[in-house]
Structure 1
């Protein structure tokens, strides 16, 4: 697997000037915030671990990134998900198709048995030190190492550019990346959006990992996670027309919230690209199937 350094680039959107941290360019299937969350495992000697286990959605970006990591390290990857739709099994698409090609061992369970299956994974990882559990979405204290590396890259770039006041923007699912960035970059404001649930839910997710950082600004959104809205699709298309493709689930929500809050945020803007564009294939298909 070839990994490239993630460059900083100027970007113009909706008449606004800002910068991008192109973490999406690190690798097609192992990039963005998932690369940062899995960074510590990338540094782990291959013989220390035999199997990674995880769980979540059947089209999860994290699932695909872990599959790519395991292919690189020579590890087995077992993933538990609720039963996939028949149409997807008949014609695999998106992250599901890519993960299968990378050798994922997929365990599908009925929705009523899902919680018990996840608890069994957790118990198994405690019993065997060579079996490592990655929580859904990579929400794990081990993510701090990779996010700290990202923070140092941003700090060095900020100094080189002579920027005094910097807002670092990144969308949140579990809030893991945003929270650890805020902890590692106390001199910056970290701006995020509660893309899954409301801001109160996101705060609870973060506080399960660490105290809520004072330099973290959480924006709200009217859009329900994974829902289809013309405004989100149009924002995705406008961003792509501006020269960069972003993911269709988190990024449009973050960009719309950012544009609305822009005038209240003093200083330069740096948007950290979270990757995840491999999931656009199935999201665009969902939009195309709409009545």
Structure 2
């Protein structure tokens, strides 16, 4: 946790949390904002989404509650934050059989003190809906993936860093689970085009998720594939994009990034600043799945 504490100490003395790197790919010039390098655990859009909680005094809460999948990047980030703050972290998932890979997000989150609670699938939705009921003042429920209005402040800080960078381009790209980062980035930067694509569900589901937070602005452009992709399922074209991107000198996550890179390569032609959303710790378990499916040999 040393790096996270260092991040807190340096916060008031720095103008930008991450650098911008030129990134040539397929004959085009892209730029990448290296939010993945902010912190080993709290990197990328997870730092931005958890910004308000990061700057919340330790005495304000004693318990943080969240829910989602067992390989969630948000789960690991929240576990790291709670470890630093001294808060109890309860995390709810549907019942599943979990392979204890010591390098997986789940194993690392457990190592940081996360208390995992499994729910039967038929009870899951109703129980999650009830979490907000009878909540005491020292507990806080963070919705799946950090989809919360409290994420706005951190994304606005990201927007300010982009403006102050002096970069000439006016098109950005960021992948979407809940769409929280893309939505608040588009609201904060109305003079920019913001490209995103749904990693979970289709375009209509993503719009529904974002609309629950704010009205969607016109500068937010949702790119959608003709082919239907299932969330976190291995695909040959995704591992090929991942390997191509890694050869270019930057590792991106295997769940969200490949689909968006596929879309911006196929459906755009301008220079784009890609916001690296981190999440590469989950690649260990994803690469195992690709090996198991025979899509990679090493």
TM-score (norm 1): 0.92
Q: Distance in 2 between matches of 1:117 and 1:92?
A: 29
* CA deviation after TM superposition for structure 1 residue 84, in Å: 3.1
Contact 1:169-1:191 at 8 Å conserved across structures: yes
Q: What's the CA shift string for 1:152-187, capped at 9, x where partnerless?
A: 000101xx24x1x41011011111100000000011
Name the CA distance, whole Å, in 1 between partners of 2:26 and 2:40: 27
For residue 171 of structure 2, what is the aligned residue in structure 1?
167
Which of the residues 134, 151, 154 maps onto 2:142?
134
Cα deviation, residue 205, structure 1: 1.1
Alignment of 1:76-225 (within 5 A): 76-85=88-97, 88-89=99-100, 91-124=101-134, 127-157=135-165, 160-161=166-167, 163=168, 165-221=169-225, 222=227, 223-225=229-231
Structure 1 stretch 12-21 or stretch 40-49: which is displaced more? 12-21
Q: Does 1:269 align with 2:242?
A: no
Any unmatched runs of 5+ in structure 1? Answer: none
Shift of 1:14: 1.7
Bigger mean CA offset, 4-13 vs 136-145: 4-13
Counterpart of 2:285 (choices 279, 282, 285) is: 282
> How far is 1:92 from its partner?
4.8
Which residue does 1:23 correspond to in 2?
35
TM-score (norm 2): 0.90
Q: What's the secondary structure of 2:268's corresponding residue?
A: helix
Aligned to 2:259, which of 232, 253, 257? 253
Instruction: Please tell me whether residue 241 in structure 1 is matched to residue 247 in structure 2.
Output: yes
Q: When the two structures are aligned, how many residues end up with a matched partner?
A: 280
Say whether 1:52 aligns with 2:64. Answer: yes
Show CA shifts across 1:213-248 (max 9, x none): 111111002222212111000110111111000000
RMSD: 1.4
What SS does structure 1 have at the residue aligned with 2:154?
A: helix
Q: 1:19 deviation in Å?
A: 0.8
**Cα distance in 2 for residues equivalent to 1:280 and 1:152:** 30
Equivalent position SS for 1:122: coil
